[in-house]
Amino acid sequence: MTRQWLAVGSMIMLSIIGCSSKSDSSSADGSSGENDKPVIGFVQTGSEGDWRKAHTVSVREAAEAAGYELRFADGQAKQENQIKALSSFVAQGVDGIILAPLVETGWDNVLEKAKKRNIPVLILDRQVDVKDDSLFVTYIGADTYNEGRLAAEWLIEKTGGKAKVVELQGTPGASPTINRYNGFRDVIGEESGIEIIASQSGDFRRSKGKEVMEAFLKKHGDEIDVVYAHNDDMAIGAIQAIEDAGKKPGDDIILVSIDGVRAAFEAMVEGKLNCTVECNPLQGPMAFEAMDKILSGDIGDMPKKQMIKDEVYERENAKEVIDSRKY
């Protein structure tokens, strides 16, 4: 396959790092090298926390292991940057694109550009909401709606169905935020005695989780029984805020979050976090297995959605499993 190499030039936000060590697939005159590897453009959301770091490493390592050249674009938490990076990969004529979309909507136009150039797009981690589903080949990621449900089921069991909850939401408009919000509410329903007394975005970030929790504590003080955080990083930020307010996280206030990163297991071992619902970021191998099939035209039985299974971990069993955690 002939590929064109267009210099990225003025696109400073786009950091392109080829993982290729054996050969460089493009030469200065724009033609492909002899031992060329297929080129994949990967558009990442940014680097908001520990989960994301593990996700980026997984994609990079899997690309290398599967014999791809990976061009990496960091969206730096802006959809605008991600759209520019996608357009640039289309202009470069890469063989395929992997997109981890920051938010759910607003992708139709740029995905149409890729489709016109016959460049297949695999959506990874977060979902897109597009009018025409043929704009991407497949979606691979966690079932984030189910994660919200699992957090609520655990909480009902733990509290006997009676608690006042504050919620730290993820990035507004991101599919895991929407799904974890809805999944949780669909389980607590209107009949349980679980009441959400405050809910605000902490942008999936530790610092923002701490800031929002400080404000919740100021406003609601002793009323708060539970923190439901859409990811571990925000829960860890909230733990700091709770300690600063002179309370005991894990005992005075119950915390349940999502991801299952190492720092969450450490917090559980220390008794400060009560529960984390796993969301596996090690999605690289699945992504490149799918990409192999896509590029060889073998997509007949490929499902439109490929979901990864999640488990629930509690502080009571954290010590036994912490050493076996891979991220």
Under the rule (CB under 6 A), what is the footprint of ligand GYE? 48-49, 51-52, 125-126, 142, 144, 176, 204, 231, 233, 258-259, 279
Contact predicate 233/48, CB 8 Å: yes
- Whether 228 contacts 151, CB under 8 Å: yes
Written as one letter, the residue type at 109 is N
Q: Which is nearer to ligand GYE, 48 or 225 (CB)?
A: 48
Query: In whole angstroms, what is the distance from residue 49 CA to residue 55 CA?
Result: 10
Min separation Cβ 232 and ligand GYE, Å: 7
Q: Toward ligand GYE, which CB reaches closer, 125 or 211?
A: 125
Q: For residue 285, which phi and psi values (nearest 5 degrees)? A: -55, -45
Q: 312-314 and 275-278: which strand pairing?
A: antiparallel
Provide the 8-state DSSP code for 161.
S
Q: Report in angstroms how near the CB of residue 183 gets to ligand GYE at its nearest.
A: 13
What minimum distance in Å lies between the beta carbon of 268 and ligand GYE? 16
Using CB atoms within 10 A of its CB, is residue 157 exposed (0-12), middle (13-18) or buried (19+)?
exposed
* Smallest distance from ligand GYE to CB 150, Å: 13
Measured from the CB atom, the residue of 60 and 164 that comes closer to ligand GYE is: 60
Beta-sheet strands, E only, within 138-253: 138-142, 162-169, 193-201, 226-229
Residue 100, number of CB atoms within 10 A of its CB: 23
Residue 266 Cβ vs ligand GYE, minimum distance, rounded to whole Å: 16
- Tokens 């939401």, residue located: 169
User: Is 36 or 203 the residue whose CB approaches ligand GYE more closely?
Assistant: 203
Record the tokens describing residue 60, joined without a space.
Answer: 């990079």
Report, in Å, the least distance between residue 109 CB and ligand GYE: 23
Parallel, antiparallel, or unpaired for β 275-278 and 96-99? unpaired
